[in-house]
């Protein structure tokens, strides 16, 4: 008899995992729950949907037909509410579903800052299709939109709403934009480019309250600034969606603790994607999750596989704001190439190897630097010309 595999969450990670699983012979009979009333889509591409460059239909990766063709039972629009580990059953509003193996792939939830007015109509987050449609439905042309959060997500929301004609202000708590990926110099260039396209940026801005009677009317900052707002998008961070695991008594730190095979402390339960924590690391970009997906498929196929931390690189999907960032900036030495109007390059070196990369303006060589960083290549032979990129590397020293 087939073994029963239940998957909670039809997001980017579980879609990829099921692809790998069904590429090999196996004896799993799969049931897939999803809180969203749909199958799997490329969440990264919500930004082009918001800006009007793409439609939802163009970003679908695994729809009900894809799953049905593989005999996967889909329960879209149905949240799992509880896991009964002793009975090996998951519960939803429609009843109980038994499993032999369970995969928790519930992703993340947007963090909401607990300020007065956070629940007013017109305050949205940016995570799924509903959020995106809520912003579009607000009729953005000519309206005032405030984005709280100047990270990757917030800036994509800002650019998307601006593309639909909104007058957008970004309020960011820190001194420069995308401070986790960019240093102050690159952050300033990014701010300049966003302002050139009409997006206002308010750094060092702490939100005190969201004002309004029946719906949002303005955002009040700690310094007394009042910014008029017909719509407020909160994009201040995410937290792993771990509630089911916590309630079931699984080990949860910031995310659901998994080992190198993506198994939790319960041998019948695995976790995958942004809801996980692996060796103290949590995740917010998709590249390592795709590797997790491969590893978990192998684990379920009884094949050896192991997930190891990998370096990720960030790009912003906002036209005209070309940035590349990877690694960290805490190295012992900096090599910088800068002109007042950009482009800007900074390579951080630690013990003779690239530890971090920040590029703004001309990022074409980002992949080359990134490969050197991942390979932990000794940069001594390249050092004199390193900052100028591969075209200037001595022939004999090219990797």
The residues binding ligand FAD (CB under 6 A) are: 8-14, 33-36, 43-44, 46-47, 79-80, 105-107, 126-127, 153, 156, 241, 244, 273-274, 284-287, 289, 317
Q: Which residue's CB is nearer to ligand FAD, number 14 or number 74?
A: 14
Please, what is the minimum distance in Å from the beta carbon of residue 313 to ligand FAD? 9
CA–CA gap between residue 237 and residue 27 (Å, rounded)? 39
Sheet containing strand 101-104, edge to edge, reads 73-76, 28-34, 3-8, 101-104, 269-271
Q: Which is nearer to ligand FAD, 156 or 322 (CB)?
A: 156
Other C-beta atoms closer than 10 Å to the C-beta of 27 total 9
Shortest spacing between CB 396 and ligand FAD, in angstroms? 36
Min dist CB 356 to ligand FAD, Å, is 18
Compute how many other C-beta atoms are within 10 angstroms of the C-beta atom of residue 86: 6
**End-to-end CA, the chain:** 52
Radius of gyration of the CA atoms of the chain, in A: 23
The CB-of-309 to ligand FAD minimum distance in angstroms stands at 15
What residues contact residue 95 under an 8 Å CB cut-off, 6+ apart?
none
C-beta separation of 292 from 13 below 8 A: yes
User: How many Cα atoms occupy the beta-carbon half-sphere of 322 within 13 Å?
Assistant: 11
- In whole angstroms, give the CA distance from residue 169 to residue 358: 25
How far is the CA of 257 from the CAs of 265, 281, 382, in angstroms? Answer: 8, 10, 40
Cβ 37 to ligand FAD shortest distance, Å: 9
Distance CA(296)–CA(256), nearest Å, equals 15
Query: What are residue 335's DSSP bridge partners?
Result: 347
Smallest distance, Å, CB 106 to ligand FAD?
Answer: 4
State in angstroms the smallest separation of the CB of 332 from ligand FAD: 29
Cα–Cα nearest to 168, from 134, 204, 197: 197
Is the CB of 133 or the CB of 349 nearer to ligand FAD?
133
Q: Kindly tell me the burial class for residue 116, based on how many C-beta atoms sit within 10 Å of its own C-beta (0-12, 13-18, 19 or more).
A: exposed
Residue closer to ligand FAD by CB (options 83, 219) is 83
**Shortest CB 130 distance to ligand FAD, Å:** 10
Which residue minimizes CB distance to ligand FAD? Answer: 11
Cα 389 from chain centroid (whole Å) = 28
Taking the least distance from each CB to ligand FAD, the nearer of 108 and 167 is 108
Least distance to ligand FAD, CB of residue 153, Å? 6
| DSSP string computed for 281-293 | B---SHHHHHHHH
Nearer to ligand FAD, 105 or 355 (CB): 105
Nearer to ligand FAD, 99 or 211 (CB): 99
What's the token pair of residue 376? 């932990």
Closer to ligand FAD by CB, 256 or 355: give it. Answer: 256
Q: Which is nearer to ligand FAD, 46 or 357 (CB)?
A: 46
The residue (of 24 and 287) whose beta carbon lies closer to ligand FAD is 287
Smallest distance from ligand FAD to CB 386, Å: 27
């Amino acid at each position: 008899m087939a073994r029963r595999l239940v998957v909670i969450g039809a997001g980017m990670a579980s879609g990829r995992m099921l692809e790998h699983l069904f590429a090999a012979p196996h004896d799993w009979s799969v049931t897939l729950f999803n809180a969203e009333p749909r199958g799997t889509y490329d969440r990264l591409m919500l930004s082009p949907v918001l800006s009007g460059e793409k439609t939802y239909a163009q970003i679908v990766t695994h729809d009900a037909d894809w799953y049905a063709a593989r005999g996967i039972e889909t329960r879209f629009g149905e949240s799992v509410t509880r896991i009964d580990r002793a009975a090996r059953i998951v519960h939803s509003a429609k009843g109980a579903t038994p499993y032999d193996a369970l995969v928790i792939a519930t992703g993340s939830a947007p963090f909401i800052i607990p300020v007065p007015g956070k629940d007013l109509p017109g305050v949205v987050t940016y995570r799924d299709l509903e959020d995106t449609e809520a912003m579009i439905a607000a009729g953005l042309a000519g309206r005032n939109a405030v984005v709280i959060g100047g990270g990757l997500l917030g800036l994509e929301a800002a650019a998307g709403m601006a593309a639909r004609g909104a007058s957008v202000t970004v309020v960011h708590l820190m001194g420069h934009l995308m401070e986790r990926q960019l240093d102050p110099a690159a952050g300033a260039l990014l701010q300049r480019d966003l302002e050139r396209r009409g997006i206002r940026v308010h750094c060092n801005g702490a939100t005190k309250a969201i004002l309004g009677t029946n719906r949002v009317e303005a955002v009040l900052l700690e310094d007394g600034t009042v910014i008029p707002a017909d719509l407020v998008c909160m994009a201040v961070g995410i937290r792993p969606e771990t509630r089911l695991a916590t309630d079931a008594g699984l080990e949860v730190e910031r995310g659901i603790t998994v080992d190198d095979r993506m198994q939790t402390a319960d041998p019948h339960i695995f976790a995958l994607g942004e809801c996980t924590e692996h060796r103290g690391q949590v995740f917010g970009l998709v590249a390592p999750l795709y590797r997790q997906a491969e590893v978990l498929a192998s684990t379920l196929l009884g094949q050896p596989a192991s997930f190891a931390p990998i370096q990720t690189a960030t790009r912003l999907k906002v036209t005209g704001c070309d940035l590349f960032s990877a690694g960290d900036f805490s190295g012992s030495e900096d090599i910088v190439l800068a002109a007042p109007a950009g482009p800007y390059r900074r390579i951080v070196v630690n013990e003779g190897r690239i530890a971090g990369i920040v590029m703004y303006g001309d990022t074409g060589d980002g992949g080359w630097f990134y490969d050197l960083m991942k390979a932990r290549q000794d940069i001594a032979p390249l050092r004199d010309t390193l900052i100028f990129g591969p075209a200037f590397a001595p022939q004999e020293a090219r990797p």
